[in-house]
Structure 1
Amino acid sequence: MRRGIAAAVAVTAFTISASACSSGSSSSDSSGPVTITWWDTSDATNEAGTFKDLVKEFEKANPDIKVKYVNVPFGDAQTKFQTAAGSKGAPDVLRADVGWIPGFAESGFLTPLEGTPAAKDKDQFEPNLIKQATYQDKLYGIPQVTDTLGLMYNKELFTKAGIDKAPGTWAELKSAMGKIKDKTGVDGFAFNPQGYYAMPFLFGEGTDMVDVGDKKITLNSPAAVKGIDTLQDLLKAPGARKLDTTSNAYANIMDAFSSGKVAAIIQGPWENANVFKGSAFKNKENLGIAPVPAGSAGQGAPLGGHNLVAYAGSDAAHQEASQKFIAFMTSADSQEKVANANGTLPTREDAYTVEVVRNPGIAGYQDLLSGGVPRLPLPEYSSLYTPLETQLIKIVSGQVGTKSGLDQAAAEAGRLLPDYSAS
């Protein structure tokens, strides 16, 4: 699944009473089954088939419920659901990015799931994942798949360069890059200049884009400047791949890594399956997965994934059917099947079976989940990636200085968060 993080930013939600909405795509009558609509935002080519198979299993086990399956491109789904929720046509169930929960809940589009059949196994899920499916102390989503960023690296290239372990700090990565380039001729590191991939550099200095507790924008704080300066220093060092700021940057970097033309990248488990198709990783054991390197204040990577949520505008019969469907799709058995077929990470411990962790990509990222940083419970949070990314590209390409660029990003963030003070 290629994550269109930059494209899938939040649009400021308009508030609407969800009780006044109705789902135009759902139907039922006293003589037939209830039909619910599910918008699946998974990759239509590599992942959707697994979910379609699970829908058939659910319908077989629940003959009184039919599921209308619709695959909606991830990059379009947030705005499309928001628009549909304000009129007729919203789906009963949506596969929502974790960052969408606060905004949709704030607008009244989602049904709280605490105490419903959908949340019957709540205690089986990773606590941090439940935390970011919760807004203002109400549970609005059930985690279906999860992810975090890690350092993917080519073990063979590292060994050829005389490096016997993954770098634990940005300074160690900088040193490793130069050795790899010198010993193998291959670029040591490539960076995708999207805002989401810059977050470990902020977390590594103990900061985030905002401080929710103090209602303060921290995008241009001294810690944030230090983090992005660290990134700048890394990209200017010997062994760094030439920066790609084209629209195909993501694909180009993944192709280079998978074919052995670059030794390390920052990436998430959604690319496991594609990496293993590459010539450099025919032997899956050649893929190294380690925590993103640490900054001066420690190490951290964003915790992501997708939750299944229920539309608040559906009637009681559809709510009940939706809750059963969500429980089925997030069960240990369903998550095990998804992990084995798609190579993605389950959200509950009992789904990490012997067969699932036999996949080195899954096993590697499972070890990183406990250190993931949950998304802040702020409706506008996902929108902040846009000003960060816009200025990040200018900074790393030398158009503006780090402080100047982050000051501009903070000013743009201030327009999204007028109640927040600047650093």
Structure 2
Amino acid sequence: MVFLAQSCSIGGPKQPQQQASLIWWQTFDDTRIARPLIDAFQKANPGIQIKFVQKSVDTYEDELIDALAAGSGPDIFAIHNDWLPKHQDKMTPAPAKILSVRDFQDGFVDVADTDLLSGEQIFGVPLSGDVLALYYNKDILSSAGIAQPPATWEELVGMTGKITRSDSRGEFTRSAVAMGTSDNVNRAPDILGALMLQNGTQFYSQSRTSSSLSQAARDEQGKTFLPAARALEFYTQFSNPSKVTYTWNAQSNNSIEAFAAGKVAMIFSYAYLRPILKTRAPFLNYGVAPLPQLTADGNKINYANYWALSVSKQSKNPDAAWTFLKYASSAEGLRHYYEVQKQPAPRPDLISEQQGDADVGVFAEGALTAKSFYKPDSDAIEAIFVEMIDNVTLRNIEPEDAIQAANQKINLLLRSR
């Protein structure tokens, strides 16, 4: 799908204009969403044409790599928030005269620094600020005598027995929460990653040359524990038949399908799930709450998952491309971008406007405390996290041993780079 924005003349004295034609590749969002933003930019910058191309997320990364290798890639392309380490060599950073590091840090939520800055250079700008949140079935919780969704993981654990139902064969007819497995839980590695961050896991050494996943810490009582193993044990308990929290297993349906069908009370996902549920389950009585935390009064930690825009190193017009990116990620630009479809904003000045919004407020507010962690290769790290879960749930390996195995694989990955 391609959209070519036409130049528009404006009144006033003639000013020297940049002349450039830029190709923008984007996933998920289509021309209806991009059109108001491009039109507004074109009106102020009539010398710059933006050719918008929507790409399928299923083939996007491979297609992008092939196009850049052939020298026929776009000027501007979308990157996931954890892609910078493996694709930085394909990008050109923002010129300080267009977007300074200080302006970037002042304008966006903190997690953008972690994901999009490298060596005091800016390699991308976010267009949204999505985070994991708790989707819950209001009817199921009410039927179980539960007035409010859980604010802490301890509260969630206490609800599982009240909600879970099984038949005479021991098969679940209603599950409390979709957790514990990998294949049938939407974004299982993200949920585990969030638990690790909340438990204080140190993922790497300071130089990022070795994994610290198996590094021990001390709790408030001075006892030694492995934060990553504690998170893994907590996550997998919900699929362990020997635990009182057993409520989900490998035979359960896909978590999103189960939630849409009213077979599970709670799942974790992002803002993008709302339009999907509207189509698949238009009469489902559900709500969205913030991701549970370790304690109700501690500092909140949420988990980021969003897309950003970057400029190709091959672009013949990098200044023009960055001029567009600066506008696209500004408060004015994002207001245009959200005209057709609301998205949680990555900017504190817009989050303050969105916090009370019924559709994106929970996600927008969560972006203020969102975290992520360095992934030398996002696909490889995700596979390691899936294997961690499977080692515990399918192979009966102890969580500490599963963490040790993952630690070794991450070290091999770091050495191969």
TM normalised by structure 1 equals 0.76
Equivalent-residue separation in structure 1 for 2:90 and 2:308 (angstroms): 17
Q: State how far apart, in whole Å, the 1-side matches of 2:309 and 2:410 are.
A: 29
2:5: which partner in 1? none
Structure 1 residues 341-350 or 306-315, which shifts more? 341-350
Q: Deviations over 1:82-103 (max 9, x none)?
A: 4443441121111111111233
Contact 1:169 1:295 in 2 (8 A): yes
3-state secondary structure, aligned to 2:368 = helix
The structure that is helix-richer by fraction is 1
Kindly state the Cα deviation for residue 345 of structure 1 after the two structures are TM-superposed: 0.9
From 26, 34, 46, the equivalent of 1:51 is 34
Q: Which residue of 2 aligns with 1:320?
A: 319
CA distance in 2, matches of 1:131, 1:394: 30
How much does 1:310 deviate?
A: 1.0
1:153 positional shift: 1.7
* Secondary structure of 1:218 counterpart: coil
Name the CA distance, whole Å, in 2 between partners of 1:353 and 1:171.
30
Offset, 1:190: 0.8
What's 2:287 paired with? 287
Q: In structure 2, what is the equivalent of residue 242 of structure 1? A: 248
Unaligned runs of 5+ in 2: 1-17, 167-171, 180-184, 216-225
Distance, in Å, in 1 between the alignment partners of 2:173 and 2:244 is 11
Cross-structure match for 1:253? 255
- Is contact 2:214-2:404 (8 Å) kept? yes
Work out the CA distance in 1 between the residues paired with 2:275 and 2:251: 25
User: 1:92-123: CA deviations, max 9, x gaps?
Assistant: 11111111123322x25322343316989633
Which residue does the alignment assign to 1:374? 372
Q: Equivalents in 1 of 2:398, 2:209: separation in Å?
A: 26
Q: Distance in 2 between matches of 1:68 and 1:200?
A: 37
| 1:67 equivalent in alignment to 2:50 | yes
Residues 328, 206 of structure 1: CA spacing in aligned structure 2 closer, same or farther, 3 A cutoff? Answer: same
- Report the counterpart of residue 107 of structure 2 in structure 1: 124
- 1:245–1:303 Cα change, 3 Å: farther
Aligned partner of residue 188 in structure 1, secondary structure: strand
- The separation in 2 between residues aligned to 1:178 and 1:145, in whole angstroms, is 37
Q: Tell me the residue number matched to 2:178.
A: 190
Give the aligned partner of residue 3 of structure 1. none
Q: State TM-score, norm by structure 2.
A: 0.77
Distance 1:208 1:79, change over 3 A: farther
Counterpart of 1:223 in structure 2 is 227
User: Against the structure 1 CA distance between its residues 114 and 260, is the aligned structure 2 distance closer, same or farther, given a 3 Å change threshold?
Assistant: farther
Residues 200, 299 of structure 1: 8 Å contact kept: no
Tell me whether 1:39 sits opposite 2:39 in the alignment: no
Distance 2:56 2:251 in 1: 23
Q: How many residue pairs get matched?
A: 376
- Map residues 58-137 of structure 1 onto 2, 5 A cutoff: 58-105=41-88, 107=89, 109-116=91-98, 122=104, 123-137=106-120
Q: Tell me: CA distance 1:400–1:340, structure 2 relative to 1, closer, same or farther (3 Å).
A: farther
State the secondary structure of the residue aligned to 2:174: coil
Change (3 A) 1:344 1:33: same
C-alpha offsets along residues 172-223 of structure 1, whole Å, 9 cap, x if unaligned?
2122121123699632111316322211221232105434457431334422
Asked if the contact 1:92/1:319 (under 8 Å) is kept, the reply is yes
> 1:276-327, CA deviations, whole angstroms, 9 ceiling, x for partnerless residues?
44547656xx413122342899863322312211112222xx2232123213
* Alpha-carbon separation, structure 2, partners of 1:325 and 1:214: 33
- Give the structure 1 partner of residue 223 of structure 2: none
Q: Do 2:125 and 2:308's aligned partners in 1 also have CA atoms closer than 8 Å?
A: yes
When residues 113 and 189 of structure 1 are mapped into structure 2, their CA distance, relative to the original with a 3 A threshold, is farther
RMSD of aligned Cα (Å): 3.5
Instruction: Please tell me the residue identity of whatever aligns with 1:37.
Output: I
Q: Is the 8 A contact 2:229 2:399 kept in 1?
A: yes
1:273 aligned partner: 275
Determine if contact 2:133/2:363 at 8 Å carries over to the other structure: yes
Alignment match, 2:380: 383
Larger Rg belongs to? 2
Inter-partner Cα distance in structure 1 for 2:271 and 2:405: 32
Q: In structure 2, what is the Cα distance between the partners aligned to 1:69 and 1:75?
A: 18
Query: Structure 2 counterpart of 1:305, which letter?
Result: Y
CA distance, structure 2, for counterparts of residue 309 and residue 332 of structure 1: 18
| Equivalent position SS for 1:162 | coil
